Amino acid sequence: MTAKVISVCNLKGGVGKTTLVMALAEYLAGDTMYGQRVLAIDLDPQSNLTTGLMSEEVWEWQYNNRGLTLPFLFKNAEYFLANGNYDKFIVKEEVSNVRNKNSFNCLHLIPSSPRLFEVQEYLPESSVSILRQIITPLLAEYDYILIDCPPSINNIIKSAFYASDFCLTPCVPSRMSIHGLELLLKQIEKFNQDYEHHLNPIGTLISRYNGTVAQTQNLNFIIVNPFFPPTFYNKIPERAKVAESLDFSMQLTYKQKYGDTHDAMVKLTKEFMQRLNQNSVNLLQMVSLP
C-alpha cells in the first residue's frame, strides 16, 4: 500500500482548513475509529496545526530550537535530501490531545514554525519539488499524508500541489470563502498545466455551517456550480466546541473535544476515505486506457 497524499486548501484564511486536517488526522488514525497510518504536515507559517497537535514546549525545545521544523527542512533541503534522513523532523510521540483507551495506530506530524514566513521569501522555483522528494521514501509507511496548506500562492503551496495526488477544499458558505475557492481552482488548473501534474480535487467540504439564510443561499450556489468540486454530503457545523479544538492544553476524548460534531466527523472521515478510493479507481482506469 502506498499513501494517498492530499492537500487541504482554500485561498481564504479562516475557512477551517487546519481544523479539518486535525480532525481528519485524529479520526483516520484512531484505533477506535478507522485505525489508519497518518502523517500530517503543517505547511502554513501560522503553525496552527502544529500547536493544535503537539505541546508548544516540546515544539520549542525538541524541534524548533534544534532546527527540526519545516522551514529548516526547506532551507537546507539539499543537505537533507542528500543524506536522505528526515526522520528526526517527524514527531511520533504524543501527537494530538485526544486520549482514549486505545489511542492511535500511527499519527505523526511534521511541525512548522513562523520562521517559514522568512524562508518562503527566498525559495527558488526549484524548491517546488522538495516536499515530493521528502515524501516519496515515506509513502510505504503511511495510508494517508495530509498537508495543511497556507492561504497564499507561492512556492510553498506549489510544493504541496506537486507532492499531492488529491486536494480537498473546505469552504464556509460565504462569499469571501467562495472567492477563495474560485481563485484556488484557477491556480490549480494553471499549476497542472505548468507542471504537467494532475492534482485531482476530490470535493468541497462545507465547514462552519450554521444554516442562516445567507449561508443557505451560498451553499446552494456551491452545490450547483459545475466548476466546483462535488460537495461532500457531510458538513462540519459551526460550534463553540470545534472552535476550542485547536487548543492542545487538555487531554480529551473524541466526544469531549468535538462535542456534538463527533458523529459528523466520523461520517465525513468515512466519506473522505470512500471518495479517495473511488478517485483512485478512476485514476487507475485512466492510466490503463489504451
**From the list 50, 64, 113, 207, which residue makes contact with ligand ADP (rule: CB under 6 A)?**
207
Rule CB under 6 A: which of 12-41 touch ligand ADP? 13-19
- When CB distances to Mg ion are compared, the closest residue is 18
- The CB-of-279 to ligand ADP minimum distance in angstroms stands at 23
Q: Which residues pair with 39 in a beta bridge?
A: 108, 145
User: Pairing mode, if any, of strands 4-8 and 144-148?
Assistant: parallel
Angstrom distance (rounded) from CA 72 to CA 80: 10
- The CB-of-13 to ligand ADP minimum distance in angstroms stands at 4
Cross-sheet strand order for the sheet of 4-8: 106-110, 37-42, 144-148, 4-8, 166-171, 200-206
By CB under 5 A, residue 48 contacts Mg ion: yes
From the list Mg ion, ligand ADP, none, which binds 112 (C-beta under 5 to 8 Å, kind-based)?
none
- The CB-of-24 to Mg ion minimum distance in angstroms stands at 13
From the list ligand ADP, Mg ion, none, which binds 99 (C-beta under 5 to 8 Å, kind-based)?
none
Interface mask toward ligand ADP for 177-196; x: CB under 6 A: --------------------
Q: Which residues pair with 37 in a beta bridge?
A: 106
Angstrom distance (rounded) from CA 10 to CA 183: 8
Which residue number, 110 or 242, has a Cβ lying nearer to ligand ADP?
242
Instruction: Give the H or E element holding residue 251.
Output: none
By CB under 6 A, residue 236 contacts ligand ADP: yes
Q: Which residues pair with 5 in a beta bridge?
A: 145
Which residue number, 158 or 208, has a Cβ lying nearer to ligand ADP?
208
- Residues composing the chain: 290
Which residue number, 18 or 120, has a Cβ lying nearer to ligand ADP?
18
- The CB-of-34 to Mg ion minimum distance in angstroms stands at 23
Contact predicate 179/39, CB 8 Å: no
Please report the beta strands in the chain, taking only residues with DSSP state E, as ranges in sequence order. Answer: 4-8, 37-42, 106-110, 144-148, 166-171, 200-206
What Rg value do the Cα atoms of the chain yield, rounded?
18
By CB under 6 A, residue 114 contacts ligand ADP: no
User: What is the size of the binding site for Mg ion (CB under 5 A)?
Assistant: 3
How remote is the C-alpha of 71 from its chain's centroid? 17
Which residue number, 164 or 207, has a Cβ lying nearer to ligand ADP?
207
Instruction: Write out the residues near ligand ADP by the rule CB under 6 A.
Output: 13-19, 48, 207-208, 236, 238-239, 242-243, 246
